[in-house]
Structure 1
Amino acid sequence: MRSCLGCVAVGFGLSLIGVGVGAQGFVQPDSFGWSRGDAHSTYAEWDDFASAVQPNAPDIGMFPVPLPAGWTPPTVQETTGTAFLTSTGNIYSFTTVLEFEVQVPAEPMVGGTTTVLLQTKTLGREIDPATIVCDGQGPVEVVELYRFNLGPDDIFGGDLVETLWRFEVPADGTMTITFESLDTSVSLDAVAVDTFSVPATCLADVNQNGTVEPADFSAWIAAFNTGSPLADQNQNGTVEPADFSAWIANFNAGCP
């Protein structure tokens, strides 16, 4: 999608300034422990929305294709009904604080955990970080991937911002993400979501070969270095140094 706060808003006589800057910062999930197309993963990406008020299907790509029977199709939708679509396929309003809902499928696993990586690109005003949740839970990690100043902070300016939001939620299947804009004059330009589900396992058996053994320590180090959910041995949703002590405790406790 060509980056533009709006171009011409027909009926309002308002021309917003385009900036010609593409998506600079969106990342692949490899640094989080999996790749797109891996088993137990899903992916969906949007860069050119077709409707300001109806659910939008991904236009860049998705996985798996076709979806397994019973899985919810991925969609992005503005839910106040007050936005309009710009000529470049952004969802925008200069009069209303917008509210968005993103639904994506994830592989369900009883007792398991799903890592959800949401990436957003906005122009003008920004997403209100206090409002963003996935299945009712806030992000465990937020990374600003890219920022470009568009000019003074009014309806013609603000910033182009690309952000990654990571969530750790129960692997129940469909993930529902909701968020609001900080103010009016936000333009949603692009969205990408990756998910990866891991089953409920013996936590100490990091290499998942069915045996708790010294080799699991090397597997834990590798998982820690990539930020994999398998390294989260204290199950608090964050991969951190304290997980090493937790892994030792889990190793000593063994597994049934």
Structure 2
Amino acid sequence: MLSLYRIIVSLLLVCLSGQVVADTSNGPNPYGPGYGFDTPNEASWGGWARGDTNTLYAEWDVISDVSYGESDDRIAAPDVGTYNVDDAYLSWNLGVFLTSTGNLISADVVQEFFIHISPMSLFSGPLIVALQIEMWGDEPVAPLLNGLAASSWTQTFAGTSVTDHDLNQYLGLWYFADTVNFFGFDLTNQPFISLAQVAIDIAQVPEPHTLVIVLTGLILIGAMTQRRDSLNS
């Protein structure tokens, strides 16, 4: 309960400051050494670079309501970068508010987030989809993609930010055998859990390579989970 109190008080103080700062400035950079985000060229689930042929990328860090559509429609465009994206936005429900750091949080309603991505061209299978998210607070409900649960859902980092928030990072992986022309992610947070950053990477890969990535990724994720559990015990 004390940690929840710290999160709300700290975020409200940041809101009152009126300063807009990227989450990476509040700490830490999720791609930094020891933290949970990876670019696909360095990830166990990857094997490609952002911007390669037959890949897609979208990322939100400083979420802004004025970046897509109207200024009060609770919809935000990716601010860090995109590739091979025709349309992409992150939306949220009534009762969720934006902090001045570009995070989303609510003190009294269940938070519903929806991420819509339409690629420039159709993706034929097999596909790998990676969702990386950073939360300030407890673990969120496991996300869905096009109504499907992730093949794996793993916590990749647990610690605190420089502003003393509980900081958790997660990785969800999905594998599709067939053509997909729309990607719709559903995320649900209980009150007091702040959504801080989202990165999505998608790639079309040859069948043998898919099997290697799946097996290698699951083995490494399992080892990482076992190591984290042993450190916490």
TM-score (norm 1): 0.63
- Name 1:42's counterpart in structure 2: 56
Distance 1:163 1:123, change over 3 A: same
Distance 1:171 1:159, change over 3 A: farther
- Write out per-residue CA displacement over residues 156-175 of structure 1, whole angstroms, 9 at most, x where no aligned residue: 98721111111113432120
Provide the C-alpha distance between the structure 1 equivalents of 2:175 and 2:147, rounded to a whole number of angstroms: 11
1:188 to 195, 200, 224: 195
1:177 to 181, 185, 194: 185
The structure whose residues are more often strand, as a share, is 2
Q: Is the partner of 1:125 in helix, strand or coil?
A: coil
Q: Deviation of residue 7 (structure 1)? A: 3.1
Q: Deviation of residue 6 (structure 1)? A: 4.4
- Name 1:197's counterpart in structure 2: 204
Q: Deviation of residue 142 (structure 1)? A: 2.0
Distance 1:119 1:50, change over 3 A: same
Once the two structures are aligned, what percentage of the paired residues are identical? Answer: 25
1:138 to 140, 149, 157: 149
1:113 correspondence with 2:126: yes
Q: Which amino acid aligns with 1:190?
A: Q
Residues 105-254 of structure 1 correspond to what in structure 2 (within 5 A)? Answer: 105-106=118-119, 107-110=121-124, 112-129=125-142, 132-149=143-160, 159-169=166-176, 170-181=178-189, 183-198=190-205, 206=208, 225=212, 227=213
Q: Deviation of residue 119 (structure 1)? A: 0.6
Task: Report if aligned partners of 2:15, 2:101 keep a CA contact under 8 Å in 1.
Answer: no
1:25 to 18, 36, 52: 36
Count of paired positions: 186
Provide the C-alpha distance between the structure 2 equivalents of 1:194 and 1:85, rounded to a whole number of angstroms: 25
User: Greater CA deviation, 133-142 or 21-30?
Assistant: 21-30
- 5+ residue gaps, structure 2: 1-6, 17-24, 66-71, 220-233
Residues 94-109 of structure 1 correspond to what in structure 2 (within 5 A)? Answer: 94-106=107-119, 107-109=121-123
Distance 1:123 1:5, change over 3 A: farther
Q: Is the partner of 1:27 in helix, strand or coil?
A: coil
Q: Which has the larger radius of gyration?
A: 1
Structure with greater contact order relative to length (CA < 8 Å, sep ≥ 6): 2
1:90 correspondence with 2:96: no
The structure whose residues are more often helix, as a share, is 2
Q: Deviation of residue 33 (structure 1)? A: 2.4
Distance 1:37 1:83, change over 3 A: same
Distance 1:6 1:147, change over 3 A: farther
Distance 1:28 1:82, change over 3 A: same
Provide the C-alpha distance between the structure 1 equivalents of 2:135 and 2:101, rounded to a whole number of angstroms: 13
Q: Which amino acid aligns with 2:187?
A: F
1:62 correspondence with 2:87: no
